[in-house]
Amino acid sequence: MLNNEYVLEMIDIVKDFPGVRALNKAQLKLRPGTVHALMGENGAGKSTLMKCLFGIYIEDEGEIFLDGKKIHFNNPKQALESGVSMVHQELNQVKETRVMDNIWLGRFPAKGLLVDHKKMYKDTKAILDDLGISIDPKEKVEDIPLSECQMLEIAKAVSYDAKIIVMDEPTSSLTEREVDHLFRIINRLRDKGCAIVYISHKMEEILAISDEVTIMRDGQWVATHFAKDLTTEKIINLMVGRDLTDRFPPKTNTPGDIILDVQDLTTYYAPQVQSASFYLRKGEVLGIAGLVGSRRTELVEALFGVRKKASGTILFHGKQIQNKYPREAIKNGFALLTEDRRKSGIFGVLSIRFNAKIANIKSYTNSLGLLKRKKITKDVKWVIDSMRVKTPSEKTQIRSLSGGNQQKVILGRWLLTEPEILLLDEPTRGIDVGAKYEIYQLIGDLANRDKGVIVISSEMPELIGITDRILVMSNGKVAGIVDTKTTSQEEIMTLAAKYL
C-alpha cells in the first residue's frame, strides 16, 4: 500500500543487461523537501536505478509511483515534463552556445515564428538569481569554468519546475568553496519542497547534506536510514558487506635508489610549470598535492610528453631523456593514467579487450604485421583476473562498466607495457570505498615490485594514507616536499597556498 508521505516510490525494480542483472528488486522511497543520498560501491546499481526513473533505461520488472500515481517513462522528455530532472555526472552541454541557449534548448520561448530572446534572457536571469548563481546568461558555455557548468546543469533542471532532481556525483570536479555554494543551492531547493536524490562516494558530504540515506549493494536495496543515525564506519559496512576498519592497506614497500631525477622543469604556454625539481626512488610512492590550478596535472603531462617542455632536464637511471611525445615516454618505461578517464582514458564504445590491449599493440604483431590473438587473449584475461574486473565478458563495451572497473582496466592496460614509472592522476576519483581499497593495494604491489609511482590526488587523507613523500605544488611551482610519516594536513595546505 502506497504511503502519501512519499513523492516517489520505486518498488522491486529489475533491470537485466546481456550476461548481468544490474538491478534485482531495488527500492527507493523519497519524501518531498528532503535530500536523499543514494550510496553503494561502483556497480551497485545506483545510476542504473536513476536511469530507469529518468526513462534512459526501461525497467524489466517493478513499479514506479510519482505522487501516488503509477508512472512509466519511455524517455527523458516524458520524465522532464512530469517534473523529474537529472544532473548527470558527465555534463552534456553545447559548449559553443550561450548559457541561456543551453538551459532552454529544445523549448525556446517563441514570439510568433521567432525565438523570444528577451524572455529567454529574463527567465534565465531569474532562475540564476534565485539560485544565487553569478553567471551571465549571454556568456558562452565554453568560456565558463567547469564548476559553473555544473551549476548551469542544476539551473536547467530547476527550469523544468522539477519536483525531483537527481544529482549524480555533483561535486566530483568542485573545490571546497564551490561545494559550499552547491550545498546552499541544494538547501534552497529543499526549502521550496523539491526532493533531491544525491549520489556521491564522499562520506563527509553525505552526512553533511542528507536527510536520509539508501545503500545499495550488487543491484539490491540494503538499507535506508536517517543520516543522523549513521557514521562513516556504518555506511562502509553496509556498502561493502564487511567491516573496513583500515581505509588503507599496510605499507610494506622499501624505497631504493633514485630512478627519476627532474631538475628545473619548465613548460611552454600558460598555465606553466615553473622550475620544478624533485626525484623519485625505486619502490616509492610519491604524492602530488595542491589546490585547483596548482599545475599538478601539467607537471605529469610534461613528464609523459603530453605537454611540451621549455627547459629543464629529466634523468632516468642517471641518463638524460627527452620524452617529447607519449610514444617516446612509453618506450622509455613511463605510463600515464589520466585524470578524466571518459574523456582521455577509455574508448567507450569499444570492448574491454580492445581497451586492455591498445597501449601494448606493438607487442601483439608478428613480423608479417599479423596479430598474435592467443597472446592478446592471455593478456586480456590477466587484466580481468589480476585487476578483479567485474564484467560479463571481455567483449563488453567498457563504458557499460562502473567507474572503478573502468579504472582497473586502464591500469591493467598500462601494466601490460611493463612500465618502470607510473603516473596516476586522480586514480580513485568517482570510485567507491571498496574499489578504492583495491586500487590502493595495486599501487602498493607496484611499489613492492620496485616500480616508481607518482600519484596526484585532491583527497588529503588518501595522499597521507598511501604515499612515502608528498610534493606540494602552488601556482606552478614546487612549494615543498614533505615526508608523509611526519607531515600533517595543515602543513600541506600551508605549502599549497605558499605562492598564491
Distance CA(406)–CA(42), nearest Å, equals 10
Distance CA(184)–CA(207), nearest Å, equals 15
Q: What is the DSSP string of 354-412?
A: HHHHGGGGGGGB-TTS-B-HHHHHHHHHHHHHHTT---S-TTSBGGGS-HHHHHHHHHH
CA 7 vs. chain centroid, Å, equals 29
Distance CA(274)–CA(498), nearest Å, equals 14
Please tell me the class of the 8-240 domain. alpha beta
Distance CA(228)–CA(57), nearest Å, equals 33
Question: Same topology for domains 8-240 and 258-496, yes or no?
Answer: yes
Phi and psi of 174, rounded to 5°?
-105, 150
Kindly give the residue spans of alpha helices, DSSP state H, lying in 132-172: 146-158
How many C-beta atoms surround the C-beta of residue 298 within 10 A?
20
Domain definitions of the chain by residue range: 8-240, 258-496
Mark the ranges of the chain whose per-residue pLDDT is less than 70.
Answer: 1-4, 18-19, 42-43, 89-91, 172-175, 242-245, 340-344, 430, 432, 500
258-496: in CATH 3.40.109.10: no
The pLDDT of residue 91: 66
The pLDDT of residue 1: 41
The pLDDT of residue 493: 83
Counted residue by residue, the chain has a size of 500
CA 68 vs. chain centroid, Å, equals 35
Cis peptide before 271 (omega within 30 of 0): yes
The pLDDT of residue 371: 81
pTM of model > 0.85:
no
Cβ–Cβ under 8 Å, residues 24 and 220: yes
Q: Give the residue among 397, 330, 324 at the shortest CA–CA distance from 362.
A: 330
Q: What burial class does residue 139 get, using C-beta atoms within 10 Å of its C-beta: 0-12 exposed, 13-18 middle, 19+ buried? A: middle
Q: Residue 287: enclosing H or E segment and its boundaries?
A: strand 285-289
Q: Give the residue among 199, 204, 157 at the shortest CA–CA distance from 180.
A: 204
